[in-house]
Amino acid sequence: MQNELTYPDWIAVDWGTSNLRVWAMTADGEVLAQNGSDQGMSGLLPDEFEVTLLSHIAPWLGNDHIPVVACGMVGARQGWDEAPYRAVPTTPLGGLHTVACRDSRISMHILPGLKQERSADVMRGEETQIAGFLADNPDFDGILCLPGTHTKWAHISAGEVVSFQTFMTGELFDLLSRESVLRHSIGEGKAIDQEAFAGAIADTISRPEAVATQLFKIRAVDLLHGADASVSRARLSGLLLGLELAAARPYWLGQSVALIGASALNALYEKALLAQGVTPSVHDVDTTTLKGLFAAYKDHV
């Protein structure tokens, strides 16, 4: 939280399913202060959003009106107020969805997500990260991979999102490691064996149809021979990521690829792509999100 009584020109908000992050911003995009919590969209009712937001930004509010620009699941059907999807092909940012607030000191503006009618798909939040990346790389023509719970692969050309594809790889890893029989072999650690990870990716790329049996082998090997949890976690991660890469091959093969994600996920995807002969550029998700929110503020508020 800020120590001096310096009021922001606007407030940036990234409000996802599980977490809320807020930044007090100047008109030039400088961060004055930041705050956050685990009060994500999934734990709130529609009439609780404004109160929750105010509890995070109260020290930044004076008597003057301050605009708030938000991205993420706050604009979902189950969020504060639904911000309708914009259809691709389109620029990542368009008009903002304005929500009426009871507190006259703020006005709430939510960035719409993107939708794809053919080969049905949707995204919320990632469009802001894409906008932030393009703010620094306006001439980029290629593929953006945004690793996460639901990883997105987006084709970018002439400043527009042409098409995209979503993979539930992160959620599948979480479900299998916590709810399936594999939980007895995976454990709770975060470390993975890099050699086992690379081997699992190679196995899946060469034989994606064998993933279901390769998954059970993780448990069988542990029962019969004993396996370190880091090896089992690596095998699970590599098998699922290899399956994603096999399906996403039309996106990354022969293309310029940039990764936008948290450092740990970026490292996994970078290693997997390097093994396929693709050298991606790597970008921090927090940085691109904030730059995307700033672009929305400059262009639409």
Give residue 136's Cα distance to chain centre: 18
Residue-wise pLDDT tens for the chain (301 aa)?
A: 444 558 999 999 999 999 999 999 999 999 999 999 999 999 999 889 999 999 999 999 988 899 999 999 999 999 999 999 999 999 999 989 999 999 999 999 999 999 999 999 999 999 999 999 999 999 999 999 999 999 999 999 999 999 999 999 999 999 999 999 999 999 887 788 999 999 999 999 999 999 999 999 999 999 999 999 999 999 999 999 999 999 999 999 999 999 999 999 999 999 999 999 999 999 999 999 999 999 999 998 8
**Inter-residue contact 87 to 69 (CB < 8 Å):** no
Residue 191, number of CB atoms within 10 A of its CB = 12
Domains recognised in the chain with CATH numbers: 10-124 (3.30.420.300), 166-284 (3.30.420.310)
pTM of the model: 0.93
- Residue 31 burial (10 A CB sphere; 0-12, 13-18, 19+): middle
Burial 91-106 (b: 16+ CB within 10 A, else e): bbbeebbebebeeebb
